[in-house]
Structure 1
Amino acid sequence: MMQTFLDLKAKQPEDLPSIIKIAFGLAAFFPPVKSEIRLDFFDDQLNEVQKEAVSFALEATDLALIHGPPGTGKTQTLIEIIRQLAARDLKILVCGPSNISVDNIADKLGPFRIPMVRIGHPARLLPSVISTSLDVAIKYSSGGMLVNDIRKEMDEKLNTSKKTRNGTERRKLWEDIRDLRKECKVRERRCTEDIVRASKVVLSTLHGAGGRDIIRQNFDVVIIDEAGQALEAQSLIPLVRGPSKCILAGDHLQLPPTIPRTDKTSSLRKLELSLFERIIKLHGPLIKRTLSVQYRMHEMIMKYPSIGLYDSLLLADVSVRSHLLSDLPNVIKTDETQEPLVFWDTNPHGGFGEDDTGAHESKSNAMEAALCRYHLRNLLEAGVQPKDIAIITPYNAQVALLSGLIKSEFPDEFSEIEIGSVDGFQGREKEAILLSLVRSNEKKEVGFLADERRLNGICLLQNSHFLGTVP
C-alpha cells in the first residue's frame, strides 16, 4: 500500500490515470451513451434493474458504480458483468477488501469455466475455491512439475553434502545447490507469470493486487466488490497502474471500513470515507446504478432502511414480501412465528440496565442475554431449526456472555446456532435473527450504535423474522 502512495506521489496530476482523476475530482465524469445494440444476457434470471446495471457498467468509458443494498443480487449482477467482459476477450482483475469477499465471487464464477486464477495462500481460501488457486495451478502445470524436479535435486545434493567428508566435493555441491536455487526461483516466477497471463479473470484481495504475482500484469478492467467496506488507500492499489475501466460495487450506507478503536481513533475517523462513497459525493447519482429489488427480507423489516436510507427505493420481491417463520416446514403458528418484526423494551428502570464496565471495555447486558435465551427457547419449541437461527450483538463481551449461556442451556443445538458480532455477520442470511443491542443506561448513551449505517447493517441481515431489544 505504501508503494501505491509513492507511485501516485511521483506523478504530476496531469499524468495520473483517468480513473484516479475522476475519483478525486480532478476530471469530470461523463455518463456513457446508451448503446442501441441489444445485449444478450447469459443469466435469464436477472431482473430489469440488474440488467440496466449490467448495461451501464459495460457501456461506461472509465468508471461505473453498482450500488447494491443487501439482498438485491449484487453478486449475481457482478457475475454477469464478468461473463460479458470475458466474452469480449478482456482481461479482468477482481478484488475485494477481504478473502471472503473475493472467494464469494470465485465460488459463483467457477461453474462457468472461464479461465481464472485465485491469488492467495490456500490456507486462507474457502475449500470450494482452492482448486482455482495459483498454488494448485502451479503444482499441476508443466513448469511447476519442473520446479518440483529441481527442488528434489536440491534436496538430494543437500543430503549428499551432509554425508561427504571431502571439502572440495562439499563446496562443489553447495555451488550446485546455489545455482539450482536461482534456477528454481526464475522458473517459478516464469511459471506464475504464464498462469496469470493465460487467465482471463484474476482474483485477489486489494492488498494482494500489489503483490509480485500481479504487479507485472496489465488488466483491461478492474472490479472491486464490497468497495463500501474497503479503506480508500486499499482501493487505489489495483488502480495505480491505469486499467481502462474500473467497476466498483458495494453499499456505502452499511458498515464503513473498519478502523481500530484506540485513544487516537477520533483522528482516524476520516479514513472511514471509502473511495466508493467519495466518488458518489463528488459526482452524484449519475455515476451509479442502484439495485432496488431485494430477495432477502419481509416487507416490514425492509421498511425502515428503505425509507430512512434508500429514499424509499427498495422493493421486496413477491417471494419474500410476506414470508413468515410459520411458513417454514414443520414450524407451528405462535405469537413469534407469525410476526415478522418484534421489539422488546429493555429500559434500565425495568431491570435491564447494561452491566457495569470500564469506559474502554466491551459492553455486556446479562438480563438482555437471558431475554434472548427465553425467545430462543420459544423459537426452538415452535419447530424452527437451530441452523436457521442467529443471535447477534454489536459487542464482543455480549457475544461471550451469550455463547456461555446458550451452550449451557442448549448443548445439543449450540453448534448449529450462530452467535456472533454484527460486523462479522454482515452479508449472511438466517431465517430468524435475535438481536441484542446491549446498551441501556440512565444517561441514554448508545456509543457507536448512533451510526445509522451500523443499524442499517443490522436490519438488512435477516430473512423472515427479526427480534430486537430496544434500549
Structure 2
Amino acid sequence: MPPTHIPQRIIPNASESIPVRYFSRRLAGSAATSLRRDPEEKVCIGLATKRSATGRIAILALATVQGIVAITVDAPGKSADMLLYDQPFQQLLLRDDEGCTLAGFDMARVALRIGGDLRIPVCAVDLSTAFVADSRRPSRPSQVVAERVYQAVDRAAVDSLWDNDNDASDREVCLRAWLAACVAEHSAAALSKVVRLDTRRLQPREIACLAELVRQTCVLEDAQPTETPSEFTRSTVTHDGTLELQNARYKTRVRNTRQTIVMTNDDGDEFVGEARGAKGRTTNIRFTGQALSGTLQAVRVVGRPELTNPEKAREELLLLLLQGKASLHAPFIRKLWFPSRSARLALDDHGSPCMHMPGLNRSQKEVASRMVSEAALVITHGPPGTGKTTTIAAAAAYWDERDLPAWIIAHSNVAVKNIAETLCKKGVDFKILVAGEFHFEWHEHIYEAIQQKVLLSDDLLTLKDVGATERLLGGSCIMLSTLSMLSNPTMDKVGVFRVVPLERLVVDEASQIKIEDFMPVFHKFRKTLEKVCFFGDPNQLPPYGKDEVPELKTIFDVEHAKESAGFLDTQYRMPVPLGDFISRCVYGGRLKSEHSVKDASCVAFVDASNGEETKSGFSWTNAGEIQTMVNLVKTYYKNENFCVITPYDAQRAAIERQLKAGKLPWEHVFNVDSFQGNEADFVLVSVVRSGHQPGFLASTNRMNVLLTRCRRGLVVVSSRSFLRDGGRNTLLGRLERHYMDLKGESAWVDWKLVMQGKADLPSALGPKREKSLGTVLPRVHGAPPYYSPLSAGPTKAFDTRSLFPPQLPKVETRASLLAVNAASAWASHTSHALDPSPTSPGTPTSPGPLTPTDYEADFPGLPMAGSPHKQAAIARTWAPHSLLLKGEDILGDGGEIARASASTRAQNRMSGGRSESESTRGTHSTYAHGQPVVRRLEISQQQIARAHPTLGTTVRDADANADAHLQPTPRAKVLSVSLAGSKQSYAPRFQARTKGPATSRRHFTHPAAEEARNQKANGMLAIQAARADKKSSANRYM
C-alpha cells in the first residue's frame, strides 16, 4: 500500500511532509521490517499509542526521523493475540543495543499497555524522566523538544498532541512517535546511559495487575473536564498589569498550576493568562497576550489538572518497577493483590477476645479489640451513624497510653477533622497535619476547637533538621492527616516519619479510595508498617469515577478479605423510623437503631409541583424547589442546626445565591458528593429532577448518603409525580411509598402551605397554621393507622376506668370469625376500655412483666398487644381497631408478612405466664382458650386497599363510623371479612354470641391527650351511654 503523508510545522528545519504507512495487526511484522530495512543500520525509533474509549490500545505508531508506520491493534471483533506470532515486531520492541534505541514519552504507561493488551515484552527509554534528576517531576514533551531538538518550538502546539489520548487523531499519534524519534536521534549519547524500562522484570500476573491499573487511570483522566469554570467575588488589575482574582469557592479556585486561564469581559472578549502565585483566596494571574479591558465577567481554567502527590507517587512507582529499582514484594501488597494460601488463611484470624473498653457497644468492642490485637489487617463496615470515629478513638487511646505510633488518615480533610475532634474529647494526645492552602483563609474556622493540635504543611518548610521536627511534634505518637499528605515530599525531607514511624495505619472513608492508591503507600513504608485498619461503607459514596469505570475496586471488593470484615451494627444518628427503613432496604436488616426520636413524623415530603427540571451546563436546576427551599429556611429552620443537600452542583449554587440574597444562612448548602461523613439536626433535600429519568438518584449509594445525614428530621422537596414515575424505583421512591403506607396523605405537604407558613414539618409547626387544626401530634409509633390523634376525648389525667363501674356483670364473649374460606380476619371497632389483667413473674415461657409503651402509658385503660418492633403481647384486653388473625398472613408495615397464631407460648403470655390449666379469663377479658392472638400491626388503609380493594373500602367505611365521639350504640357491630382467595366476596358479615347475662358495650374512640374535651362532660356522657345500653341489653346481639 502506498504511503500517505502528514504535514508538520513543529520543527522548522525538518521535512514538512512525513510519509506514513498503515498496517493491520496481522501485518505488524511487515511494518517492523519496513521501518528498519537494514539490520546493521543504527536507528532511533519513537513509540506512541492511542487508546480506545475502553482504555485498550487502538493504534500503535513506530517512527524514525524519515518515516512512520501505524498499526491498527484494537479492530472490533478480532483478537490482539495474533500479534504474538509476528516475530519481527516483537524483536523490534525488545531490541536494545548500540544499533537500535526505542524511546517514547510516558513510557512506563505505554510499556505496560503493550504488555497487558498484547502480552509482548517491551524494553525502551522513557524520555519524560531521562533528563531530570527527580523522577517525581517528569518533563513535559514541549520542554524536552525545546531542550534537545529546537529551542524556539511552539510549546503549546507540542503539548496539545498529548491532551486527549483517546480522542487524538491518527496524525497526532504519529507525530508523537515522530517527535520521540527526533529527540532520541539528537540525544543518542545521553540516552545510552539511561536505565531502560523492561517489562521482563515483572511476573505476568504483576504486569496484568499494573496494566489494569494504568487502563483505569487513563479512562478516569479522560473523564475529567478539560475546562473548569471558576467562581470569584472580585478582581483587581495591579500597577504591574497582574490580575488579582479573589476566589469564591475552594473547590473551583484557580490554582497555581501550568494550566491556561481564559478570562471574559462584559463585551464577550477573551483574554489569556497563567497563574503566577496563589495564597489563600487570592490568585495572581499574568496575561500572556493582551491585558484585560472592561469588566471581568467569567473565568475558566483550560487543560487537564496537574497530578496530585498520590498520583505522582503512583507514576514514580511504575517507573521504578520497570527499571528494576523497586518490587511488589511489600507484605501488604502481597496480602491484597497477590495472596498466597497462607496469606488468605491469615486474614481469617479475628484477633483477641473483646477487651474492656467502656462506652462502646458490643460490635464496636469487637472491632476495637481487633485493632489493638496482633491481626495485621482489619476491615470494618461502618454504616451511617454507627460510631466509626468513636471506635477509632478507642483504639487510638489504647495506643496513646502505651506510646505506640499510629497514623490515622482519611480521603477528605473534613473526615480527618471529625476524628480529631473526637480524639480531643477523649483526651488523646495527637497532632493533625493540614495542607496550608486548605487551611489559610478557607477553612480556619472548622479547626478552632482543636487549634492547638494543628500543624500546617507550610510550617514544615521552615524546619531545618529532625530535631526541630521532633520538638514541633511535641512527643505525640498519634498523627492525623489525609492520604495525600503521606506522599508529600516535604514530610520526608524534614523527617516526620523518622520521628513518628508509620507502624499502624488507620484508614477512614476507605470505601471512597481506590485500592490501587494504597500500593505506593505500602511500598514506601514496607519496612515499618505492621498493621492496617480499614473503615468504610461500600453502600455509600464510591471512589471518584466509579460511574465511568465500573471495575474500580476498593478494599471492600477484595474477595479473600470479605469474610474477615467486621460490621458495626447499631446506628445512633437517625430517628428510629428512618433508621429501620435504611436497615431493611440497604443493609439487609442488619442495622439496629437506638435513638430518642421514634415517631414517624420525623420525615416529611413537600410537593414542589410548581417546579420543573432545567438543564444547566452539565448539571440541573429546579426553580420551584429553589424557592421552596428558601421558604423552608426562612420560615422553619433558619434558627436550627440544618443543612441543605442536593445531588446537583448547579442547584447547590442557585440555592446558595438565593439564600444569600435573602440574608439567610447560606453556608450550609452542600452537594451530596461532598457531604459524606457530616450530619445535621435537620436535613433539607432538594431532589431537582421532575421528568422521567432519575439521573443521579438512580444511585442507591448516593441516595443512602442523602437520606442518612439527619439527627432529628428530614424534609424532602420533590415532585410527587416524579417519585411515582421517574423516581419510583429509586431508594427515595421506596421511602415515599413507605411513608404513604405509614401516614397516608399526611406524608405530603403542598409547597403553597410551606410558602404560607401553614404546614407542620418535623419539629417545626407552621407559624400561620389553621387554628381549627389544633395541635398536630405525631403519630405514636406502633399505634393502628385508624387511630386519629386529632379526635376529641379524654386527657391523660382522665381515667377511662371510671366509665365502666366494677359492679357491672362479667361478660363472656367469643367473636365468631366467619369466612368464605378457612382463614379469616376480624377488624373490630369496639372497646371495653377496662383494666388490663395483671401480669405475673416470669416463667420459662413468659418474659415476665413488661414496661408499657408510651402509647399505653397515655391510655392506661387501653391495653395493646405488643408491636412487632417492640415487645411480646402481655396479659391485657384486646385493643380497639386491631386486626385479629388466626392462621392467616396479612401484609404488615412495609410489605412485610406478619403472622399471628394461637401458640402455647402466646397463650401463656396472654395469661400472664400461668399454665394452661390455671389460665382463666379476667374480668371483661376476651382471651379464652383456643381464641386467636391479637397483635397490633402497623398497617394502613392504603396497604389493605392495594392487597384487597373491597376490604380496604370496608375498613375505610368502618373508620368513618368510628369518628362518632362517645356515641352510645345499642348494638355492637363486629365486622368479619375473608382474606382468602381473590375471587371470593368480601361482603361484611355481622355475627356474635354471648354467654351469661348481657351487659352494656359501647363504641368509643380514644384520641390524643392534648385536645381532650372537658373531663366532666365526657364522664357524664359515658354514664348516660352505659345506662341507655343497659336497658336494651337483653337483645344486644343477634
TM norm. shorter chain > 0.5: yes
User: Partners of 2:631 and 2:449 in 1: how far apart?
Assistant: 37
Structure 2 partner of 1:32: 349
Letter in 1 for 2:708: L
Within 1, Cα distance between the matches of 2:650 and 2:459? 44
Whose relative contact order is higher, 1 or 2, with alpha carbons under 8 Å and at least 6 apart? Answer: 1
SS of the residue corresponding to residue 566 of structure 2 reads: strand
**TM-aligned CA deviation for residue 267 of structure 1:** 4.8
Query: How far apart, in 2, do the equivalents of 1:4 and 1:417 lie?
Result: 36
Q: Is the 8 A contact 1:69 1:251 kept in 2?
A: yes
1:255 corresponds to which of 520, 541, 547: 541
Aligned residue in 2 for 1:436:
686
Q: Which moved more, 1:116-125 or 1:425-434?
A: 116-125
* 2:314–2:517 CA contact under 8 A, matched in 1: no
Cross-structure match for 2:646: 393
Cα pair 2:436 2:456 within 8 Å, conserved: yes
Superposition map of 1:232-243 within 5 A: 232-240=515-523, 241-242=525-526, 243=529
1:116 matched to 2:447 = no
Q: Distance in 1 between matches of 2:541 and 2:589?
A: 20
In the TM superposition, what are the counterparts of 1:331-410 in structure 2 within 5 Å?
A: 339-345=601-607, 351-355=610-614, 357=615, 360-376=617-633, 380=636, 384=637, 386-408=639-661, 410=662
Residues 389-437 of structure 1, C-alpha deviations (whole Å, 9 max, x = no match): 32221112212332343445x53xx127722222233222222222111
Name the Cα RMSD after superposition: 3.3
Cα 1:190/1:231, change in 2 over 3 Å? farther
Q: In structure 2, how many angstroms separate the alpha carbons of the residues matched to 1:206 and 1:299?
A: 34
Query: In the aligned structure 1, how far is the partner of 2:697 from the partner of 2:624?
Result: 19
Q: Distance in 2 between matches of 1:234 and 1:315?
A: 33
The answer for the alignment partner of 1:420 in structure 2 is 670
Q: In structure 2, do the counterparts of structure 1 residues 131 and 121 end up closer, same or farther at CA, with 3 Å as the change threshold? A: farther
1:464 match: secondary structure: strand
The answer on 1:83 being equivalent to 2:366 is no
2:530 equivalent to 1:244: yes
Matched ranges for 1:201-350 at <5 A: 201-215=478-492, 216-217=497-498, 218-240=501-523, 241-242=525-526, 243-259=529-545, 267-271=548-552, 273-274=553-554, 276-279=555-558, 281-284=559-562, 286-320=563-597, 322=598, 339-345=601-607
Contact 2:612 / 2:690 at 8 angstroms: preserved in 1? yes
Moved over 6 A (4+): 11-14, 136-139
C-alpha contact 1:19 1:245 (8 A) present in aligned 2: no
Gaps in structure 1 of 5+ consecutive residues: 148-184, 260-264, 324-337
- Which amino acid letter does the alignment assign opposite residue 352 of structure 2? S
Cα 1:407–1:396 shift into 2, 3 Å? same
Partner of 2:809: none
TM-score with structure 2 setting the length = 0.34
2:817 corresponds to: none
What is the distance in 2 between the residues matched to 1:138 and 1:446?
A: 47
Q: Percent identity?
A: 24
TM-score, normalised by the number of residues in structure 1: 0.72
- Assess, with a 3 A threshold, how the Cα gap between structure 1 residues 203 and 373 changes in structure 2: closer, same or farther: closer
Tell me if structure 1 keeps the 8 A contact 2:573–2:595.
Answer: no
Alpha-carbon spacing, 1:318–1:392, altered in 2? closer, same or farther (3 Å): closer
- Bigger-Rg structure (1/2): 2
Give, in whole Å, the separation in 2 of the partners of 1:283 and 1:255: 20
Q: 1:388 to 1:119 in 2, by over 3 A?
A: closer
Counting matched residue pairs gives: 386
d(CA) in 1 for partners of 2:431 and 2:573?
Answer: 31
Q: CA deviation digits over 1:222-276, x for unaligned, max 9?
A: 11111112243433443322211100111121112234xxxxx9655544x33x3
Residue 619 of structure 2 aligns to a residue whose secondary structure is: coil
Inter-CA distance 5–32: structure 2 relative to 1 (3 Å threshold): farther
Matches of 1:223 and 1:417 in 2, distance apart?
31
Structure 1 residues 85 and 32, CA, compared in 2 at 3 Å: closer, same or farther?
farther
* Correspondence 1:93 to 2:407: yes
The CA deviation at 1:317 is 0.4
Instruction: Please say if residues 224 and 247 of structure 1, whose CA atoms lie closer than 8 Å, have aligned partners that are also in contact.
Output: yes
Hey, which of these two has a bigger chunk of helix by percent?
1
Distance of 1:35 and 1:136 partners within structure 2 = 38
Residues in 1 aligned to 2:639 and 2:314: alpha-carbon distance in whole angstroms = 46
Contact 1:206 1:237 in 2 (8 A): no
The residue that corresponds to 2:706 in the other structure is 458
Aligned counterparts, 1:38-77, within 5 A: 39-41=355-357, 44-77=358-391
User: Is the CA contact (8 Å cut-off) linking 1:138 and 1:192 kept in structure 2?
Assistant: no
> Matched residue of 1:398: which SS?
helix
Q: 1:136 to 1:25 in 2, by over 3 A?
A: closer
> Is 2:131 the partner of 1:131?
no
Q: CA deviation at 1:387?
A: 3.2
- Residues in 2 aligned to 1:123 and 1:130: alpha-carbon distance in whole angstroms: 16
Against the structure 1 CA distance between its residues 4 and 85, is the aligned structure 2 distance closer, same or farther, given a 3 Å change threshold? farther
Structure 1: how far apart are the matches of 2:317 and 2:667? 48
Whole-angstrom distance in 1 between the partners of 2:579 and 2:400: 35
Quote how far apart the aligned CAs of 1:73 are. 0.9
What letter corresponds to residue 210 of structure 1 in structure 2? S
1:332 is matched with: none
Name the aligned partner's letter for residue 580 of structure 2.
Answer: K
Say if 1:212 and 1:377 are closer, same or farther in 2 by CA, change over 3 A: closer
Unaligned runs of 5+ in 2: 1-309, 440-446, 723-1038
Gap change, CA 1:137 and 1:79, over 3 Å in 2: farther
Larger fraction in strand? 2
For residues 295-323 of structure 1, the C-alpha deviation after alignment (integer angstroms, 9 at most, x for no partner) is 11112222332122211111110434x16
- Are the counterparts in 2 of residues 393 and 438 from structure 1 also a CA contact under 8 Å? yes
**CA distance in structure 1 between the partners assigned to 2:402 and 2:456 by the alignment:** 28
Which amino acid in structure 2 is aligned with residue 225 of structure 1? D
1:114 and 1:200 in contact (8 A); partners too = no
CA 1:204 to 1:312, structure 2 compared with 1: closer, same or farther past 3 Å?
A: same
More deviation, 428-437/69-78: 428-437
- Counterpart Cα distance in 1 of 2:658 and 2:313: 48
For 1:13 and 1:74, locate their aligned partners in 2 and report how far apart those are by CA, in whole Å. Answer: 35
Counterpart code for 2:626: A
1:202 CA drift (Å): 1.9
- Letter of the aligned partner of 2:508 in structure 1? D
Letter in 2 for 1:238: V
- 8 Å CA contact 1:32–1:60 kept in 2: the answer is no
